[in-house]
């Protein structure tokens, strides 16, 4: 069921400062433009790696779900990991059947890659917030 690691989500109070870390300290050369996902309450920027991506996420608006994370972790930090799945509905149903909590309404929403995603509660995933996303068209 689980597929390729698509990205690691990093919450940050400043995407610009985080870009500098990945560019200047780690040598990342392929960094996308910052864009907003207002329905999810975040600004997003992808840092392309040879085998995956880093998703930088910064709060957008007062209702951003990232605010709570940044209150606990003011400097930011790892927020989630994201795995691709061939069928998002089958993945959601399998998670529920196995007793895992799918966050929100449980209905997939469109994520930063333009494909449906769901999130599975950290308490069911060894303490890690897990995003499952439909396999993107490459």
Q: Which sequence spans correspond to the domains of the chain? A: 5-134
**pLDDT higher than threshold 90 for residue 27:** yes
Contacts of 29 (CB under 8 A, 6+ apart): 23
Catalytic residue among 16, 55, 131, 135: 131
Catalytic residue at 131?
yes
- Listed in order, strand segments (DSSP E) in the chain are 5-11, 30-31, 35-37, 42-48, 53-59, 77-85, 109-110, 116-120, 130-134
97: pLDDT strictly greater than 90: yes
Residues 60, 26, 8: CA angle, nearest 5 degrees? 45
The pLDDT-based confidence of 102 (bands split at 50, 70, 90) is very high
How far is C-alpha 138 from the chain's CA centre? Answer: 18
- Banded model confidence at residue 51, pLDDT cuts 50, 70, 90: very high
What is d(CA 31, CA 109) in angstroms, rounded to the nearest whole number? 25
Q: Tell me the two tokens of residue 38.
A: 């207002």
In CATH terms, the fold of domain 5-134 is: 2,3-Dihydroxybiphenyl 1,2-Dioxygenase; domain 1 (3.10.180)
- Tell me the pLDDT band of 138, cut-offs 50, 70 and 90: low
pLDDT surpassing 80 at residue 77: yes
């Amino acid at each position: 069921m689980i597929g390729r690691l698509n990205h690691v989500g990093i919450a940050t109070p400043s995407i610009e400062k985080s870009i500098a870390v990945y560019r200047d300290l780690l040598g990342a050369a392929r960094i996308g433009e910052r864009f907003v996902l207002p329905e999810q309450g975040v600004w997003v920027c992808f840092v392309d790696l040879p085998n995956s991506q880093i998703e930088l996420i910064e709060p957008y608006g007062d209702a951003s779900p990232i605010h709570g994370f940044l209150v606990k972790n003011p400097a930011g930090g790892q927020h989630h990991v994201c795995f691709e799945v061939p069928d998002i509905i089958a993945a959601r149903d399998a998670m529920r059947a196995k007793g895992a909590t799918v966050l929100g309404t449980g209905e997939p929403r469109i994520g930063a890659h333009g494909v449906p995603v769901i999130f599975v509660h950290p308490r069911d995933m060894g303490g890690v917030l897990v995003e499952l996303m439909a396999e993107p068209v490459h």
